[in-house]
Amino acid sequence: MLVSVLRLATLEAVILNKAVSLVVVGAALLFRANAIAPSDLIDHIGVVLNLLAGSVVGAWWAAGHAITMPRGWLSRIVMTMLTALALVMLWEALAGHPDASTPLLAAGPTRYFVGVVAGLAIGLFAALLGVAGGELLIPTIVLLYGMDIKLAGSLSLMVSLPTMIAGFARYTRADAFVVLRQEKLLLRWMVIGSILGAAAGALLLGLIPTHWLLGLLGVILLVSAITTFRHAR
């Protein structure tokens, strides 16, 4: 939407979205403090560290390359990733989130390796789109580790925050980082709107079916991907 409606360049839009997402993830961690006992999170800190071993590296590497990449190529990559994310959300809207069950792999070196690779891919994805990556983290945690989806949501935030900080720190070296000063008013309203939206979403969670929201967001992302493609030509 930043590219299609406000006509920001792709890199500037990614940096602006990353700044807003950082605030929202931090707020979401506070909002969910009463939802999951801290002891439960501590008991599963190994899952967080496993994914972080890949996601932080992926986010740092991707952000560094996004800075030097030709804007046209960056726009095409973002378009492809937006399309992929939209399809994931539409699939989840139709099929629903996976339920907690037996882990895909038993605990051991193989699962740790797969977790690092999954984290690496999610870190790349999150850095290039300026998002938290929860859309990919939650299904990964549920399927790979057999976690309950509510617990997976909180664990995903614990992975997202350091991952986003790594990518954001890398973006501070970009000339495009000045967008945060140039668009201070927009940034302020985006932060306020996002926090209010997160709070409203928590209140509406039991009233509006989740698959409806996922489907709507999937359609919006597809439209954004098409607009980004036009912008990249």
Domain residue spans of the chain: 10-232
Summarised one tens digit per residue, pLDDT across range 93-114 is 777 655 556 787 888 999 999 9
Q: What would the pLDDT profile of 22-54 be if each residue is shown by its tens digit?
A: 888 887 777 776 667 778 888 899 999 999 999
Tokens of 88: 């994931």
DSSP three-state, residue 98:
coil
Give pTM, 2 decimals: 0.76
